[in-house]
Amino acid sequence: IQYAPLEDAALRIVSALRKKRTVDWSGVATSTRAKALATLEMLNFIERRPGRLTVRHQCIDFAERPSQRTALFADSARKLAAYQNFVELLSEYSNTKPTHIALGQKLRSRLSTKWADSTATVNAKILLDWARTTGDAPPILRRRKRSRNAR
């Protein structure tokens, strides 16, 4: 799941914690919620158990320190093997812009997984979004700001 829905989920969770209420998931697809919770758990922001959600200090800090969100996210993401491998893979592309499928296939090989090409492509897109958010993407792969007239 990309960064923006993760941020939204973390903010909703911490808001509910502070208000001592259940999390308001209105407007969030069930599949997005499930993916966000699973990813927040991988990032060590939350812990899930049947009927219980434990919010870790990383998630609270993330929600309550907007100016540090990117750094807090980066710190947790860089501990994940798939993300570490992806960032190493990106370092090979300082002058050329690879396709998502090429990135996904190389990552699949590095991780020795059996992803289909479509899964590898989606995972590459997600991890590239994370790398752009954290600043780990090489300059050639960073987002370019669009002008208002470019739409």
| pTM of full prediction above 0.85 | yes
Tens place of pLDDT for every residue, the chain, 151 residues? Answer: 999 999 999 999 999 999 999 999 999 999 999 999 999 999 999 999 998 999 999 999 999 999 999 999 999 999 999 999 999 999 888 788 899 999 999 999 999 999 999 999 999 999 999 999 999 999 888 876 555 555 4
> What is the DSSP annotation of the chain?
--HHHHHHHHHHHHHHHHHTS----TTS-HHHHHHHHHHHHHTTSEEEETTEEEEPHHHHHHHH-GGGHHHHHHHHHTTSHHHHHHHHHHTT-SS----HHHHHHHHHHHHT----HHHHHHHHHHHHHHHHHHT-S-GGGSPPPPPGGG-
